[in-house]
């Protein structure tokens, strides 16, 4: 995939440097050529010998080789590279990159680079959140450089939050995506995908929910992102995790929260797929305090939730595609087609609870997809990931038809 691509890999002083040898291995395995430049501080975290062995090239820190006087030309390296990645990018280096302070080989090469620049910050939570760091990152983005966002998680300091450098596998994906851009079917498209159940509060600790696991929506989000789409994933409560540089995840609890998040993302969405199992009813007057057992609950009064999909159907513009799911137990086709028309959809994915091995919770699914032109397509019983691929193949066909 990266055969012959020339990558300049800049490493700065951060504990996350320990992950870089793995990234180099992955890049080399994909056929890339890797030239490592590390700052003096980075040498405290990872050795030049390790980096040189894996990259099959000397790992450089100084402009001159002290022994034989050979010049490591930052200009030549800047011209040579197809892409420069600075990972980990410490707060100090981000600041120097933003202001052009070229006081080491990495930074002189960065200033000379004619290629796209990616940077993957790694630092402590408070440093990452500091206004100067935020400003430096925005400045770099305004230059057209690509931020590989740090992950939220446990940090070396023991704190927990954003600041953990992205994993090597995902950085590799981001690089591959960049080089593959021309051929990816959903490149430049924005998807909004909803997933999971909603929880409707009875009181601060109790809720009405449903059996949706979120697996179908997550599979769609991942596949769409792997095909180049930028994905806004709005999900109800689920234990699922998802990790892809193109996916922006928003977690919500209730139908009304999901509605707000979907409405916000919808304006920019070329394709929207509502795979969430949104509750149709919510307690009319949830208690603000925990209802005590002794007091008892004789009945819970419910009111209808907002129909998110119908609302989006009303807002839909001509160049937007809107796809819903229908979960049916009887009169499946009839009910699904009714939803297709009533909610102003371009297609609907029918999930029948009568199909053995398909539906809620499990890893498999079997669906029928109806479009608004009267076509339909039935998948066999497949993994949810395969079903997601089939659905996205159809979406791709629909986009091409609209644009063609
Ligand atoms: N949906 C929604 N908002 C709701 C209920 C459903 O956006 N309050 C969406 C679901 O995400 C799905 C589609 O509407 O894409 C159909 O959901 P489904 O539960 O099958 O149908 P309902 O419209 O809720 O009708 P019913 O429950 O009566 O079958």
Beta bridge partner(s), residue 80: none
Using DSSP, state whether 219 is helix, strand or coil. Answer: helix
For residue 358, name the pLDDT band (cuts at 50, 70, 90): low
Among the listed residues 159, 91, 167, the one whose alpha carbon sits nearest the alpha carbon of residue 122: 91
Helices and strands, number each (H, E), in the chain: 13, 21
CATH code of 184-403, in short, is 3.40.50.10300
| Residue 246 to residue 218: CA distance in whole angstroms | 13
pLDDT in tens, 363-378: 788 899 999 999 999 9
Answer whether 196's CB lies under 8 Å from 278's CB: no
Both structure tokens of 106? 């990495």
Beta bridge partner(s), residue 282: 303
Tell whether ligand 1 has an atom less than 6 A from the beta carbon of residue 150. no
For residue 310, give the ligand 1 atom closest to its CA: 7
- DSSP-derived secondary structure letter, 181: G
Q: 256, 324, 342, 353: which to mutate for ligand 1, most atoms within 8 A of CB?
A: 324
Beta bridge partner(s), residue 194: 234, 274
Active site residue 210: yes
Residues 178-195 have a mean pLDDT of: 87
| Residue 131 to residue 77: CA distance in whole angstroms | 32
pLDDT in tens, 104-153: 999 999 999 999 999 999 999 899 999 999 999 999 998 989 999 998 87
28 pLDDT more than 60? yes
Whether the bond into 137 is cis, omega within 30 of 0: no
pLDDT in tens, 246-278: 999 999 999 999 999 999 999 999 999 999 999
User: Measured at the alpha carbon of residue 309, what is the angle toward residues 346 and 197, in degrees to the nearest 5?
Assistant: 120
In CATH terms, are 6-182 and 184-403 the same topology? yes
Tell whether ligand 1 has an atom less than 6 A from the beta carbon of residue 280. yes
296 pLDDT more than 90? no
Q: Check 41, 210, 335, 344 and give the catalytic one.
A: 210
243 pLDDT more than 90? no
Answer whether 194's CB lies under 8 Å from 217's CB: yes
Tell whether ligand 1 has an atom less than 6 A from the beta carbon of residue 76. no
385 pLDDT more than 70? yes
Query: CA-CA distances (angstroms) from residue 86 to 13, 44, 91, 165?
Result: 11, 17, 12, 11
Beta strand ranges found along 90-129 (DSSP E):
117-121
CATH architecture observed for domain 6-182? 3-Layer(aba) Sandwich (3.40)
Q: Where are the domains of the chain?
A: 6-182, 184-403
For residue 343, give the ligand 1 atom closest to its CA: 14
Q: How far is the CA of 318 from the centre of ligand 1 (A)?
A: 22
For residue 198, name the pLDDT band (cuts at 50, 70, 90): very high
Beta strand ranges found along 293-388 (DSSP E):
302-304, 321-328, 347-352, 364-365, 367-371, 376-378, 382-383
């Amino acid at each position: 995939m990266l055969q012959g691509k020339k990558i300049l890999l800049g490493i700065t002083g951060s504990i996350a440097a320990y992950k870089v040898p793995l990234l180099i291995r992955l890049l080399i395995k994909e056929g890339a050529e890797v030239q490592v430049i590390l700052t003096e501080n980075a040498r405290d975290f990872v050795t030049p010998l390790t980096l040189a062995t894996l990259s099959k090239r000397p790992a450089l820190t100084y402009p001159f080789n002290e022994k034989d006087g050979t010049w490591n030309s930052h200009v030549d390296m800047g011209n040579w590279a197809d892409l420069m990645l600075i990972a980990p990018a410490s707060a100090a280096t981000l600041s120097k990159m933003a202001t052009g302070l070229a006081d080491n080989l990495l930074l002189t090469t960065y200033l000379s680079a004619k290629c796209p620049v990616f940077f993957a910050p790694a630092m402590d939570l408070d440093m990452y959140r500091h206004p100067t760091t935020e400003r430096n990152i925005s400045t770099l983005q305004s230059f057209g450089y690509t931020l590989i966002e740090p992950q939220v998680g446990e940090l070396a300091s023991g704190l927990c939050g954003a600041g953990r450098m992205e994993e090597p596998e995902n950085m590799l994906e981001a690089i591959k995506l960049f080089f593959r851009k021309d051929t990816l079917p959903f490149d430049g498209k924005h998807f909004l995908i909803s997933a999971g159940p909603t929880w409707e509060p009875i009181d601060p600790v109790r809720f009405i929910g449903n059996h949706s696991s979120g697996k179908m929506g997550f599979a769609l989000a991942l596949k769409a992102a792997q095909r180049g789409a930028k994905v806004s994933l709005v999900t109800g409560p689920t234990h699922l995790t998802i990790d892809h540089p193109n996916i922006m995840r928003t977690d919500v609890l209730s139908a009304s929260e999901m509605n707000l998040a979907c409405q916000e993302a919808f304006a920019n969405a070329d394709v929207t797929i509502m795979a969430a199992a949104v509750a149709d009813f919510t307690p009319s007057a949830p208690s603000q305090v925990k209802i005590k057992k002794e007091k008892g609950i004789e009945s819970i009064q419910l009111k209808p939730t907002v129909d998110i999909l119908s609302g989006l159907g009303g807002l839909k513009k001509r160049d937007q595609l809107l796809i819903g799911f229908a979960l049916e137990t009887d009169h499946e086709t009839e009910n699904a087609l009714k939803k297709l028309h009533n909610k102003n959809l371009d297609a609907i994915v029918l999930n029948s609870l009568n199909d053995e091995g398909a539906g809620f919770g499990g890893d498999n699914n079997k669906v029928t997809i109806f479009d608004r032109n009267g076509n339909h397509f039935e998948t066999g019983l497949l993994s949810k990931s395969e079903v997601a691929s089939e659905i996205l193949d159809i979406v791709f066909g629909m986009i091409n038809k609209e644009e063609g």
